[in-house]
Structure formats: C-alpha cells, structure tokens
Amino acid sequence: MPMRKEESTQPIYEQVDAIYRSESRLVFATLIRLLGDFDLAQEAVQTAFAAALEQWPREGVPANPRAWLVSTGRFKAIDALRRRARLNSSIMESMGRLEASPTPIETDQPEIEDDRLRLIFTCCHPALPPDAQVALTLREVCGLTTEEIARAFLTSAPTIAQRIVRAKAKIRDTRIPYEVPARAELPNRLDVVLRVVYLVFNEGYTTSYGTTLMRHDLSSEAIRLARLFLELLPDPEAEGLLALMLLHESRRSARTTPDGEMILLEDQDRSLWNRELIAEGIKLVRHAFASRRLGPYTVQAAISALHAEAPSSAATDWSEIVGLYDLLLRIDPSPVVELNRAVAIAMRDGPAAGLSEIEGLLATGELDNYPLAHSAKAELCRRAGQINEAKASFEKALALTSQEQQRRFLEKRLAEIK
Amino acid sequence: MKFSCRLLSILWVSRDYLIGRQKPNQMLNSEEIMKYVCFGYQNEKKWEQMSENERNALFDACFAYDEELRAKGHFLSGEAIEGASAAVSIRIKNGKASVTDGPFIETKEQLGGVGIIEAKDLNEAIALWSKHPAMVFDETGFEIRPVVDMTPLREASKQRRKAAGKS
C-alpha cells in the first residue's frame, strides 16, 4: 500500500463516498429549506450524488462539492417537478414559487449550519408525538435507515416507516415551519430537543435486552447528536446533557460482568472507567455550572461527576451529592429524585437515616410500582441487619421488574441473604 | 352553536375524504396564509363557580385580545358555545336522523368555544393563541387544527353537478 496518498490521486468513488459521509446530511438539510419538502429533498440528494458519480470522473471534483451538490440537487428536483407538472396543475404553482426563489448556491457557513438547526427543531417539534420525534430525528438528522432504527428499538421496519410517514404528513398538514424558533419560544423548544437526545441515549444505555452492539450504537448516536447541537447552539443545559451522557458512557465497560450481569456503582472496578470521557464530561459540567441557568441535566451531570472523581464509594463526597439532590428537587421535583436523595443520605449518615427517608417516601404510595424503590429499601434493610424486611422488599422488587438483568441481580441478592 | 356544528362536520367529512388522496407538494415555508381553528375546552364546573366580577374581567381581557388579533389581521371569527347540557347529538340510524340528548362524549372537559385565526404557519398560530386570555381560564387548554382548504374540492364538485344537470 502506498504511503503517500494525496486526495487528488484517490479513486473518484472513494472521494465521493467520503463526501457522501461528511456532506449528505448538510446537503439534505439545505435542500429541505430550498425545496420545502422532506421527500423531494431526499430524492434530490440521491440524484445529486448519482450525477456526481457520473460527472466528477470526467470533470474532476468541484472546488466546493457541497455547493455543487446543493445546486445540482435543486436543479434536478425542479426538472423532475416540471416533468410531473404536466399531470398536475397545482405542482405548477409550487414550481413557480421555487424558480422565483433566489439562487441557492450559498456556501455561507452560518446559513448551512442554520439549516441543520432548522432540521433538528422541525424533527423535534412538540406537535409531533415523542416516538415520532425520536424516529424522525434519527432518520433525518442522523441519517440512520428505517431498518437500523427498527433494529435499535426492537420493532419492525414498517412500524418505524409508518411513524415517519405520519410525522411528515403532520408537518405538511399543520404546516410546521422549517425554522429555528423565536427567542421567546426557545427555552421550551430546547427542552424537547434535549429530551429526544436523552431518550435516544437511554434507549441505548439502560435496556438490557436485544443485542448490546446495536443498542450501543444508539448511545453514541445520541452523544454525536448532542455534540452537533451544542456546536450549533451553545446552551448550558445542552452542555449539561452532553456531560451527563459522557459520564454515564465512561462507566459502560464497568457496568456489567463479561457475561452480562449487572454491577452496582459501588462494586465497579473504577480502573475500567474511561478517563478521557470523564475529563471531557467534568470540563463541560464545570462550564455549564458556572452559568446562571441551572437545569436538571446539569445538576445530574454534576452528581455523576462527583462519582467519577471519587476513588471509591466510601471516599465519595456524599454530603455534596445530597446537596445536589436537594437542588435537583427544587428544579425538577419527582419521587424518583427523592429516592436517590434518600440513598445518598444513607451513604452519608448510615442505613437507618436512609431507611426512614425511604419509608416516608413509600408511604405516599407514589413509588409502589417502582421496583428500584423496593430494592433500595431492601439493600438498606440488609445493611441495617433487618434480614426479614430485606427479603420481603427484594421479593417485592423482583415481582415488579420486567428487566431480565435486574431480575437476575435481585435473585442473586436474595439467594445471598437466605 | 349551529355554527360550530357545521364547522365540525365540515372538518370531519373533509378529513375522511382526504385519507388516501395524494396531496400535491406543499411548501414547508409557503407564503400562503393558513387558517387554524382553535377549539377551547373548559371545565364547566369551574366556570359555574366564578363570580360575576371574575367572569367580566375574563370577558374583557378576551374581547380585547380578540380585537387586537383582528386589528393585526389574524382573527377571522370566534364563537362561544352553550354548555354540554344544551348539546344535542344527531346520528343517522336506518336512514333516519336519530336525535339524542347531550354531547357525543360526556367528559369533565367540554368544548366551550372556537376561534378561527389566520397565520403563516403552526408556530405563528401557537404563538398568537398562547397569549389569549382564555388560555388562563383553566389548564384544560385549546386544541389547534389546521383548516383544510376545500376550494378545489368544491370547484370539482360544482363541475360534476353542472355536468350532471346538463345530461
């Protein structure tokens, strides 16, 4: 294999392939703006690359391939519409508008970046159902195929295809605009985008069924998406979310035994934690924390960062963690956060203190069907020497859990105390 | 009330009609203006519990905002409708109109009024309507739906009827 390989001597199809990987989503986003239609834009991207494969070997790769692809795609789309127009007069009107629009050969970076942001906000529009937001974002922003999304969510390709088709119909019929929301709407719209990213991440991270390889892909896709979003729209909570995901991701290989059994945070081999991801996560969370607008992702990331920095469970700054849970409860109150706070209190002040918190929480009835509430209580009872109570709570948790990995873990725990 | 019934039936029929029909490419950023119907759902109990002063204050705020929207060219019309106790439902059974007392679905939240506005897209419709004082009345809220443009269908129907009349 030759050591010096200039780009110009690379076979043309390899260059086109590389350009496809780096540019096709950008070309797509801009063509949606110019053509005003998802499907038309998708078709135009394919046509433009087909034309590139035909013309570039003869004429060479243009100086600005992206601009060439956008302009070729737009031209071919108008051409195709014109041919179809003979059949339908209403297309004529659309065409008139299209041709009247200014020539699209913007190589302007800000404009193109805006197109990607427009695409994200359109796919994550709150008027679309959450599962459609996720599917559409993975399909149109990340460029995953319908089959890939279906595999990742353990559902059939027709189900995902239908979700995407319905979402696109809703975008068209209710006229969801292709735009970055106005400043006044931005905080709410941002929440939806971040929630979609986090949903994608969690789908890849927390579930134990399916092939781990496929689900792993979803987590890295979410991280990639968060990086892209942060690049386009700097925001402390987006930073906090990216930090949170990186810090979770850093523990991936320590979370399970080689044969897939769950390992609790305190029993994990911390030398397996990915230091690079931790360093990046901590840097991001420090920066986000310095901003005045503290959101739930940032606070959760800060908690995760404290764990990441601690050499062991015992040496963890539990007081600080309890304080952060107090903060989180003020920003985003939920019984699950209270449960986590109770566990942190147990780590700081001993199992009895944590138990009284959990018992108070369970008395409200809100966490009756939440298996982790019962397993947390069981664990604290075990540590406090209340073996019978521990057994009863482990059994309750076991009856409630539907996750195979969690079930095996609880069964093992139960066997240990018997 | 008559008005909103008609409106609902038009929407219903047109929706059914359009299923399976290939629509022409519609621009995401078209300059055409869209019409949106904003259906206001409300908890009638809450309304009954309000004092006259409270009701008047709400009316004043609502009418003032309607006028503001009208001045900006967004407000087409709006109607408040009588409560669920005044509702009559009509269905066709065995070819005859069967009339029953009450709304189709008896729920705590009932349709209390409709507003029809014009906006360039859904985001503008949401932005305009979310500032409406009727929104603060209770948390039940509004449902926004785009109006289907029936003009081409009406025109085509006119042609068909004309042709049928001639033959």
Picking from B29, B30, B146, the nearest residue to A173 by CB comes out as B146
pLDDT > 80? residue A205: no
Q: What is the Rg, in whole angstroms, of the alpha carbon atoms belonging to chain A?
A: 26
Output the average pLDDT for chain B.
78
Question: What does R_g of chain B's alpha carbons equal in angstroms?
Answer: 19
With contacts defined as CB-CB under 8 Å, which chain B residues touch A37? Answer: 25-28
Average pLDDT, chain A: 87
Q: What is the pLDDT of residue A359?
A: 94
- Please report the number of interchain residue pairs, chain A to chain B, with beta-carbon separation below 8 angstroms: 68
User: Pick the residue with more confidence: A118 or B1?
Assistant: A118
Residues of B in contact with A127 (CB under 8 A): 122
Report the chain B residue with the minimal C-alpha distance to residue A40: B25
Taking contacts as CB-CB distances below 8 angstroms, the residues of chain A near B156 are none
Chain A interface, best mutation among B17, B21, B29, by max A CB count within 10 A: B29
Is 60 exceeded by the pLDDT of residue A5? Answer: no
Whole-number Å distance between alpha carbons of A185 and B123: 9
> Where does the pLDDT of residue A235 fall: very low under 50, low under 70, confident under 90, or very high at 90 and above?
very high
Is A32 in Cβ contact with B121 (below 8 Å)?
no
Give the distance from residue B164's alpha carbon to the nearest chain A alpha carbon, in angstroms: 24
Q: For residue A262, list its beta bridge partners.
A: A256
Range with the lowest mean pLDDT among A5-14, A226-235, A291-300, B6-15?
B6-15
Contact: B122, A177; criterion CB under 8 Å: yes
CA distances from A139 to A119, A132, A144, A225, B55 (A): 11, 10, 5, 12, 49
Q: How much is the pLDDT for B28?
A: 53
* CA-based end-to-end distance of chain B: 39
Mean pLDDT of A229-254: 93
Give the span between the Cα atoms of A137 and A121, in whole angstroms: 9
Residue to test with chain B: of A89, A175, A185, most B Cβ within 10 A: A175
Query: Which residue ranges make up each domain of chain A?
Result: 7-107, 109-208
H helix intervals, B19-130: 44-49, 52-71, 122-129
Let me know if A375 is exposed, middle or buried by CB neighbors in 10 A (0-12, 13-18, 19+): buried
Flag whether residue B20 sits within 8 Å of chain A, measured between CB atoms: no
Any A CB within 8 A of B141 CB: no
- Rounded to 5°, the CA angle A292-A293-A298 comes to 110
pLDDT of B143 higher than 80 = yes
Q: Is there a contact between A200 and A138 (Cβ–Cβ < 8 Å)?
A: yes
Q: CB of A256 within 8 A of CB of A272? A: no
pLDDT in tens, A139-180: 999 888 888 888 877 788 899 999 999 999 999 889 999 989
pLDDT, greater one: B136 or A390: A390
The Cα–Cα gap between B59 and B65 comes to 10
Q: For A229-243, what is the mean pLDDT?
A: 94
Which pLDDT tens digit goes with each residue over A35-58? 888 888 988 999 999 899 889 988
Element (H, E) at B93: strand B88-93
- What is the interface pTM, i.e. ipTM, of the complex? 0.70
- Contact list, B25 vs chain A (CB under 8 Å): 36-37, 40, 81, 91, 94
Question: Contact A181/B24, CB-based, under 8 Å?
Answer: no
pTM score of the predicted model:
0.78
Min Cα separation A166/chain B (Å): 12
Model confidence at A207, pLDDT cuts 50, 70, 90, reads low
- Closest residue to A175, CB basis, from B23, B24, B34: B34
Phi–psi pair at B116, nearest 5 degrees: -115, 125
pLDDT level of residue A386 (50, 70, 90 thresholds): very high
- Per-residue pLDDT, A417: 84
Q: Does A354 have pLDDT greater than 90?
A: yes
User: Under an 8 A CB cutoff, do B28 and A181 touch?
Assistant: no
- CATH numbers and ranges of domains, chain B: 2-12+30-166 (3.30.70.1060)
pLDDT at residue A212 greater than cutoff 90? no
Q: How far apart are CA B128 and CA B165, in angstroms?
A: 46
**Helix %, strand %, coil % of chain A (to 5):** 75, 0, 25
What pLDDT digit, counting tens, does each position of B23-42 carry?
A: 434 445 556 789 999 998 88
Q: How far is CA A384 from the centre of its chain?
A: 39
* Res B60 pLDDT > 70: yes
Interface of A with B (CB under 8 A): 32-33, 36-37, 40, 81, 88, 90-91, 94, 97, 122, 125, 127, 171-179, 181-182, 184-185
- pLDDT, residue B95, reads 83
